[in-house]
């Protein structure tokens, strides 16, 4: 197996990526577009690109992901994709009747230099977009950024195309949830509802990529933020952007366009991050935190206290999406775990690295960007063997090769279910994350225990 040739001799590579620790921008843009009700994502490129993006999301969610393509051939590669997109828009509205087409570009259309605004305007003037229907777009070149960047760009596109300020400011809070699971988006909405805070959340993939089986095919499931809701975000009093890399750009665009002030928080994963989110909701919503939410917080604290001995000084290595990693690292340090290394393929910048080191300590190895890949992560694990690994499905090969327990987090997770339905956000999500960690650590303890130490009760 190729992994067995990995060594702990780490060389700083600048021009070579081996098994990137990310996926490409269009995957994130497609996922964000699914968070608009009645929206059909459209990949402006070849059929192969679109097939990969759909496949990645379908395998992760175990739900068929609907999307269309401009079906580039050699001719479009030479002369541009305008004719393809114009015909696609006309055909899509005629055959699939979406409310919205959300177009994202690909490597090919970006290299060609297709002017998306000009093409969409041409489609309008030629009557290819029916009355009451909308086409939006964002630029997502696959050769830079990651799926997190693509999610951010598409969410910003929603603001640019939909949000309006009518001058009638409402006592309502916008929430941009970041690149998280539909279960997390549902949990964020539940917390706000429990607190009695009126919100607009976009995008919202809950009820879309985790919709129930009812024996019928639904091209456009009931979930998702409506275009009217996104439009009304310009009249909200405040925006909470969850996750710096995935949500800041859209919040800033909304502030610039509609003068809605915003604050960026870490994703509410773990005790402190959830406290910060609940407290900001309380302040901006003008409400008190209800007893039910305080009970959930107390239960999380109870398990943190009861199980502390099993977390204490356990060494963890993490690979995944930067916004999630920040909150999870904070939570693990609250559990008195030691952070060995943190790696993300998404270009996250020096601020990310500084934040991780401030939370986890200066000895923690932190790296982001193209060469912060799965191969590099494996080298770090070989050099400083941790007690547990946190990462996506691709980390299972490293976990088996090094005989280290794995907790699956971030995107993609192809070989397990549950992430679609059970959140990691909020106090309940913190409980679930602790359960996952404890199960892995205690299963390993039982597996390795001598006969006289194989206990029935912890």
Q: Are 205 and 35 in contact (CB under 8 A)?
A: yes
Active-site residue among 24, 39, 50, 107? 107
Is the CA virtual torsion 314, 319, 320, 326 positive or negative? positive
User: In whole angstroms, how large is the CA radius of gyration of the chain?
Assistant: 23
| 366 given a catalytic annotation | no
Give helix then strand counts, H and E, for the chain: 18, 13
Beta-carbon contacts of residue 452 (< 8 Å; ≥ 6 apart): none
Of the candidates 133, 134, 150, the one whose C-alpha atom is nearest the C-alpha of residue 30 is 150
| 107 given a catalytic annotation | yes
Separation of alpha carbons 300 and 295, rounded Å: 9
Q: Are 231 and 211 in contact (CB under 8 A)?
A: no
Separation of alpha carbons 325 and 209, rounded Å: 23
What Cα–Cα distance (Å) separates residue 13 from each residue in 94, 220, 356, 363, 367?
Answer: 50, 44, 22, 21, 12
> Where do the H-state alpha helices sit in 307-425?
308-311, 322-334, 349-360, 374-383, 395-402
Separation of alpha carbons 340 and 93, rounded Å: 51
Return the active site residues: 107, 111
């Amino acid at each position: 197996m190729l992994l067995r040739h990995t060594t702990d001799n780490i060389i700083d590579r600048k021009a070579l990526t081996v098994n990137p620790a990310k996926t490409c921008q269009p995957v994130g843009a497609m996922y964000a577009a699914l968070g608009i009700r009645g929206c059909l994502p459209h990949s402006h490129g070849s059929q192969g690109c679109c097939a990969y993006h759909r496949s990645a999301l379908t395998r992760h969610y175990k739900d068929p992901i609907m999307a269309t393509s401009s079906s580039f051939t050699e001719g479009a590669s030479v002369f541009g994709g305008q004719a393809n997109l114009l015909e696609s828009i006309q055909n899509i509205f005629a055959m699939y009747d979406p409310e919205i087409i959300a177009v994202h570009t690909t490597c090919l259309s970006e290299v060609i230099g297709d002017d998306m605004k000009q093409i969409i305007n041409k489609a309008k003037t030629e009557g290819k977009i029916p009355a009451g229907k909308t086409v939006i777009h964002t630029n997502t070149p696959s050769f830079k950024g990651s799926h997190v960047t693509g999610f951010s760009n598409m969410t910003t596109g929603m603001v640019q195309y939909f949000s309006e300020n009518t001058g009638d400011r409402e006592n309502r809070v916008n929430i941009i949830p970041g690149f998280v699971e539909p279960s997390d988006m549902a949990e964020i909405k539940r917390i706000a509802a429990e607190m009695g805070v009126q919100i607009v959340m976009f995008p919202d993939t809950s009820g879309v990529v985790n919709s129930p089986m009812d024996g019928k095919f639904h091209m456009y499931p009931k979930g998702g933020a409506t275009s009217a809701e996104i439009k009304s975000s310009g009249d909200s009093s405040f925006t909470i952007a969850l996750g710096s890399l995935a949500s800041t750009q859209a919040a800033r665009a909304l502030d610039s366009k509609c003068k809605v002030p915003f604050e960026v928080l870490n994703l509410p994963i773990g005790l402190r991050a959830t406290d910060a989110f609940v407290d900001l909701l309380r302040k901006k919503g003008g409400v008190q935190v209800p007893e039910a939410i305080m009970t959930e917080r107390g239960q999380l604290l109870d398990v943190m206290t009861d199980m502390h001995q099993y977390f204490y000084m356990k060494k963890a290595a993490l690979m995944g999406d930067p916004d999630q990693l920040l909150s999870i690292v904070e939570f693990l340090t609250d559990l008195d775990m030691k952070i060995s290394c943190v790696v993300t393929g998404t270009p996250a910048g020096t601020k990310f690295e500084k934040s991780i080191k401030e939370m986890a300590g200066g000895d923690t190895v932190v790296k982001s960007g193209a060469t912060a890949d799965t191969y590099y992560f494996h080298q770090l694990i070989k050099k400083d063997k941790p007690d547990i690994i946190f990462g996506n499905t691709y980390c299972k090969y490293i976990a088996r090769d090094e005989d280290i327990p794995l907790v699956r987090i971030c995107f993609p997770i192809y070989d397990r279910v549950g992430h679609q339905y059970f959140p990691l956000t909020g106090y309940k999500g913190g409980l679930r994350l602790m359960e996952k960690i404890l199960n892995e650590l205690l299963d390993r303890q039982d597996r390795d225990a001598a006969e006289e130490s194989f206990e029935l009760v912890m």
